[in-house]
């Protein structure tokens, strides 16, 4: 039997108002100065204030870096490092979606590994020597699970690529999944990040590196997301939002350890080239890529249909399994208002060869259950146009 390694974060809190533990955790662990990393929109609408108010009440010193952009570029990480040094922070509190938490991870790693000050050097599987500056992550979206993963994604605008950095030293020491913070998400963001979480769960379930433990987590995540996304987005149902917060986290526990596939390989390029929000890119591509992967993964699709999608597919033919599985995903996407195509988010037919070239080099590609060529990528992008 092959040896299986599984890495999870140290401590997690879940539920409405879970952020109330933040100040005590900071004090009990002996931290003195906090760098809060968030994005401008959360800062301006007061979501991050729900966190910094707790620091004020506890008399904890902090500075706020609130310039994180969607698809955060290298410059975001460098600016955050400069502020972290300037205020002498010994812990980072990341408030936001994947963009904020990923930026915090980049800052964290370079703060303790100064030999890797060039952010580009962190691309791919990293060999940093030191654990990053401690991070406490408070996600505001039910999607990326960045609070529990060893991955982070930073955009290199010069090369128009997304760098997928994989490093056990970046995992937050504490995840605080406070669904009150998630409840303030606009409908479009709740929908796209929820579909991002579903993509993580499905790709994690079928990836080449899947194992018994990862599939246990992935299947439970698929069940929670499929049953709760529509109510969380359209009805703002608090119980459904709570379940989405849990589902996306559980999906992260799995894919962080076993990897993803070519939905992400393709979505990363849409984000890097057209600045397409990552969750939306995944949602657009998911049915098309799952149809392609069905040739090798139809038995896993049968399991998901039967156990999570409320469809008894035990007697379905291979073709019926693939068709029904892709239809179920597309239906859910449409129910939460996602009907766009690659063309709708700026994709151009003449760019397809370039996008395919970039997807071929993406670190998520090797985990895909079906082998893929540049020609396959070109055909998939064209179908998704």
366 with 219, same domain: the answer is yes
Q: Pick from 148, 182, 216: which residue ends a domain?
A: 182
33 with 162, same domain: the answer is yes
Cα–Cα distance, 110 to 281 (Å, whole number): 29
CATH of the domain at 156: 3.40.50.1970
Record the pTM.
Answer: 0.94
Residue 139's domain comprises: 11-182
118 with 205, same domain: the answer is no
104 with 209, same domain: the answer is no
Let me know if residue 2 belongs to a domain. Answer: no
30 with 145, same domain: the answer is yes
pLDDT at 76: 95
Each residue's pLDDT tens digit, 359-368: 999 999 999 9
197 with 326, same domain: the answer is yes
pLDDT at 1: 62
Cα atoms in the 13 Å half-sphere on the side-chain side of 283: 32
Let me know if residue 123 belongs to a domain. Answer: yes
Q: Pick from 182, 211, 240: which residue ends a domain?
A: 182
pLDDT at 184: 82
Best CA proximity match to 241, nearest among 299, 303, 178: 178
225 with 364, same domain: the answer is yes
| Pair 326, 304: CB distance under 8 Å | no
323 with 206, same domain: the answer is yes
Let me know if residue 72 belongs to a domain. Answer: yes
pLDDT at 183: 86
63 with 196, same domain: the answer is no
176 with 198, same domain: the answer is no
DSSP 251-273: HHHHHHHH---HHHHHHHHHHHH
Q: How far is CA 307 from CA 183, 208, 230, 244, in A?
A: 28, 21, 18, 18
DSSP 310-350: S---TT--HHHHHHHHHHHHHHHHHHTT----TGGGT--GG
Let me know if residue 30 belongs to a domain. Answer: yes
pLDDT at 2: 77
318 with 198, same domain: the answer is yes
pLDDT at 12: 96
Number of domains forming the structure of the chain: 2
Let me know if residue 157 belongs to a domain. Answer: yes
Sites in the chain below the pLDDT cut of 70: 1
Each residue's pLDDT tens digit, 272-314: 999 999 999 999 999 999 999 999 999 999 999 999 999 999 9
CATH of the domain at 277: 1.20.1090.10
Q: Pick from 167, 182, 197: which residue ends a domain?
A: 182
pLDDT at 338: 94
């Amino acid at each position: 039997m092959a040896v299986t390694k599984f890495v999870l974060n140290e401590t997690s809190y879940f539920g409405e108002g879970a952020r109330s533990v933040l100040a005590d955790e900071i004090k009990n662990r002996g931290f003195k100065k906090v760098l809060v990393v968030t994005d401008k929109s959360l800062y301006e609408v007061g979501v991050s204030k729900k966190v910094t108010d707790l620091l004020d009440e506890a008399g904890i010193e902090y500075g706020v870096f609130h310039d994180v952009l969607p698809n955060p570029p290298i410059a975001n990480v460098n600016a955050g490092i400069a502020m972290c040094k300037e205020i002498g922070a010994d812990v980072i509190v990341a408030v936001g979606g994947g963009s904020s938490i990923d930026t915090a991870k980049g800052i964290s790693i370079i703060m303790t590994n100064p030999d890797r000050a060039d952010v580009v050097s962190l691309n791919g599987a990293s060999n940093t020597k030191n654990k990053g500056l401690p991070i406490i992550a408070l996600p505001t979206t039910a999607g990326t699970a960045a609070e529990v993963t060893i991955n982070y994604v930073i955009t290199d605008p010069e090369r128009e690529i997304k760098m997928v950095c994989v490093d056990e030293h970046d995992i937050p020491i504490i995840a605080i999944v406070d669904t009150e913070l998630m409840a303030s998400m606009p409908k479009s963001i709740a929908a796209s990040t929820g579909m991002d979480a579903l993509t993580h769960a499905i790709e994690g379930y079928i990836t080449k590196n899947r194992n018994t433990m990862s599939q246990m987590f992935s299947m439970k995540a698929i069940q929670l997301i499929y049953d709760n996304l529509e109510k969380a987005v359209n009805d703002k149902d608090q119980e459904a939002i709570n379940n989405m917060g849990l589902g996306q986290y559980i999906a992260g526990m799995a894919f962080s350890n076993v990897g993803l596939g070519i939905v992400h390989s393709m979505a990363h390029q849409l984000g890097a080239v057209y600045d397409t929000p990552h969750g939306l890119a995944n949602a657009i591509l998911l049915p098309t890529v799952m149809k392609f992967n069905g040739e090798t993964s139809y038995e896993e699709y049968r399991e998901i249909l039967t156990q999570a999608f409320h469809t008894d597919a035990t007697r379905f033919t291979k073709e019926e399994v693939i068709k029904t599985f892709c239809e179920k995903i597309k239906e859910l996407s449409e129910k939460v208002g996602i009907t766009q195509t690659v063309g709708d988010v700026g994709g151009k037919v003449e760019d397809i060869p370039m996008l395919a070239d970039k997807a071929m080099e993406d670190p998520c590609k090797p985990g895909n259950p079906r082998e893929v060529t540049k020609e396959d990528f070109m055909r998939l992008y064209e179908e998704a146009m």
